[in-house]
Structure 1
Amino acid sequence: MQYELNLEKQFSAALKSIARREDLKTYVERTPELYMLLQQAASRYVTGETRQEGVAASRRLAAEGYKISIEYIGENTTDADECEAAAAEMKALIQDLGRAGLPARVSFDLSHIGLSLDKELAYSHLMDVAAYAGTVETEMELFISMEESSKTEEILSVYARAAASYSNIGITLQAHLNRTKQDLEALAASPRRIRIVKGAYQEPEDRAIPRSSALNERYLELVESAIRQGHHVSIATHDEGIVDEGLKSRWLAYGNAEFEMLYGIRPELGSKLKAAGHPVRIYLPYGHEWYLYLCHRIAEYPPNLYRAVIDIVSKRI
Structure 2
Amino acid sequence: MSFLTRFARQWIAGETLDDAIAQAKKKNNAGIRAIINFLGEHVKDEAEADNNVEENLRILRAIEESKTKASLSIKPTQLGLDIDKNLCLSKVEKIVSTASSKNIFVWIDMENSPYAQGTVDIYLEIIKKHKNAGIAIQANLKRSESDIARIAASMGIIRLVKGAYSEKMEIAYTSRSDITRNFSKLMAYLFYKSPFFAIATHDDRLINEAIEANKTHQKRLEFQMLMGVRDELKRKLVREGFAVVDYIPYGKNWFPYTTRRVRERKRNILLILRSVFDI
Matched, 1:109 2:79: no
| CA displacement at 1:245 relative to structure 2 | 1.6
For residue 116 of structure 2, the aligned residue among 139, 152, 158 is 152
Structure 1 equivalent of residue 94 of structure 2: 128
Q: Tell me, which stretches of 5 or more residues in structure 1 are unaligned?
A: 1-34
Distance 1:97 1:314 in 2: 31
Q: Which amino acid aligns with 1:135?
A: S
Distance 1:253 1:49 in 2: 41
Distance 2:191 2:109 in 1: 19
- CA 67–311 in structure 1, closer or farther in 2 if over 3 Å, else same: closer
| CA displacement at 1:190 relative to structure 2 | 2.3
Identity of aligned residues (%): 27
Relative to the length of structure 2, the TM-score reads 0.95
| CA displacement at 1:213 relative to structure 2 | 2.1
Matches within 5 A, 1:168-187: 168-187=132-151
For residue 45 of structure 1, the aligned residue among 5, 11, 17 is 11
Runs of 4 or more consecutive aligned structure 1 residues displaced over 4 Å after TM superposition: none
Q: CA offsets per residue over residues 8-28 of structure 1, 9 Å max, x none?
A: xxxxxxxxxxxxxxxxxxxxx
Distance 2:128 2:195 in 1: 15
Structure 2 equivalent of residue 93 of structure 1: 59
Distance 2:195 2:175 in 1: 25
- CA 55–252 in structure 1, closer or farther in 2 if over 3 Å, else same: farther
Query: SS state of the match for residue 186, structure 2?
Result: helix
Q: CA offsets per residue over residues 130-185 of structure 1, 9 Å max, x none?
A: 2222332xx30111000111111111111111111111111110001011111111
| CA displacement at 1:278 relative to structure 2 | 1.2
- Does the 8 Å contact 1:252/1:258 carry over to 2? no
- Does the 8 Å contact 2:111/2:165 carry over to 1? yes
Distance 1:278 1:225 in 2: 20
Q: Tell me, which stretches of 5 or more residues in structure 2 are unaligned?
A: none
Distance 1:211 1:205 in 2: 9
Bigger Cα displacement from structure 2, 94-103 vs 196-205: 94-103
- Does the 8 Å contact 1:251/1:257 carry over to 2? no
Distance 1:127 1:175 in 2: 26
Number of matched pairs: 279
Structure 2 equivalent of residue 73 of structure 1: 39
Structure exhibiting the larger radius of gyration computed from Cα positions: 1
Q: Which amino acid aligns with 2:22?
A: A
| CA displacement at 1:304 relative to structure 2 | 2.2
- CA 306–274 in structure 1, closer or farther in 2 if over 3 Å, else same: same
Query: SS state of the match for residue 281, structure 1?
Result: strand
- CA 53–244 in structure 1, closer or farther in 2 if over 3 Å, else same: same
Q: Which amino acid aligns with 1:78?
A: K
Query: SS state of the match for residue 75, structure 1?
Result: coil
Matched, 1:262 2:226: yes
- Does the 8 Å contact 2:151/2:157 carry over to 1? no
Distance 2:166 2:51 in 1: 29
For residue 163 of structure 1, the aligned residue among 110, 127, 138 is 127
| CA displacement at 1:253 relative to structure 2 | 5.3
Bigger Cα displacement from structure 2, 64-73 vs 251-260: 251-260
Relative to the length of structure 1, the TM-score reads 0.84
- CA 115–252 in structure 1, closer or farther in 2 if over 3 Å, else same: farther
- Does the 8 Å contact 1:191/1:232 carry over to 2? no
Query: SS state of the match for residue 134, structure 1?
Result: helix
For residue 84 of structure 1, the aligned residue among 4, 28, 50 is 50
Structure 1 equivalent of residue 207 of structure 2: 243
Distance 2:47 2:215 in 1: 43
Distance 1:214 1:130 in 2: 34
- Does the 8 Å contact 1:194/1:231 carry over to 2? no
Distance 2:163 2:216 in 1: 22
